[in-house]
A = this chain, B = another copy of it.
């Protein structure tokens, strides 16, 4: 039927799937996991799929659109619990912990989650679930709606901080402590005095405290209203 000579087998490469949105996102995700966000360029994703960068534009709107699809795929990995009034606060922490872990497993993606409003499917499910937990906690709807945004911000920031401490020597707590204590005590009396407090805790502890502060603040507001 086909006169073109094929090398050795009917399939000359191991099951190259046809291009599709999913295949493009898969390739980007693999690159993200193995080499981080900087490696996720249109050209390298295309190369992993044995094609040219131009071919990707049929399936994604551009690099930004690709990254959004990747983000949504990652959020799709998070499992949800039905909100339970008796343990909503614990459930909130657990949900945010799972989100944190998924973000940390995909270096660089946390930064992109902060600059995009929720819109895709898995992102909306995360939003829906967080909102459910806060409403189960008896919070005022307006406060809950605003707080969801803050929690999303805090978890992304914690993941970014974790990555920075892992890869950037300048962000190591010891380094930072030295920098704070090395300042002039006349000019910076508080920074030098409280350097230990400023660098205390790992990203996960800092992030749990932050969540608790916001939750306690919401409850205080609800009590006043």
Query: Once the chains bind, are B190 and A150 in contact (CB under 8 Å)?
Result: no
Q: Shortest Cβ distance from A142 into chain B, in angstroms?
A: 5
**Nearest CB in chain B to that of A201: its residue:** B146
Are A146's CB and B206's CB within 8 A? yes
A139-170 contacts to B (CB < 8 Å) = 141-150, 153-154, 157, 160, 164, 170
Is A215 positioned at the interface, with any CB of B under 8 Å from its CB?
Answer: yes
> Could you say how many copies of this chain the assembly holds?
2
Query: With a CB–CB cut-off of 8 A, which chain B residues contact A206?
Result: 146, 149
In the complex, the answer to whether A212 meets B217 with C-beta atoms within 8 Å is yes
Interface of A is mostly: helix
- Picked from B144, B198, B214, the residue with its CB within 8 Å of the CB of A214 is B214
- Which residue of chain B has the shortest Cβ distance to A212 in the bound complex? B217
A78 → chain B, closest Cβ, in Å?
16
User: Please, how many angstroms separate the alpha-carbon atoms of A194 and B179 in the complex?
Assistant: 46
Provide the bound-state CA to CA distance between A179 and B119, in Å.
Answer: 7
**A212, B99: Cα distance in complex, Å:** 25
Q: Which residues of B contact A200 (CB under 8 A)?
A: 142, 145-146
- Name the one of B127, B145, B213 contacting A150, with C-beta atoms under 8 angstroms: B213
Binds B, one of A1-9, A22-30, A38-46, A128-136: A128-136
Q: Does A74 contact B (CB under 8 A)?
A: no
Interface string of A201-225 (1 = CB under 8 A from B): 1000010011011111111110000
Query: Which of B127, B157, B221 interacts with A213 by CB under 8 Å?
Result: B221
- Asked whether A10 is an interface residue with its Cβ less than 8 Å from the other chain, the reply is no
Enumerate chain A interface residues (CB-CB to B < 8 A).
111, 114-115, 117, 119, 124-125, 127-128, 131-132, 135, 141-150, 153-154, 157, 160, 164, 170-171, 176, 179, 183, 187-191, 194, 197-198, 200-201, 206, 209-210, 212-221
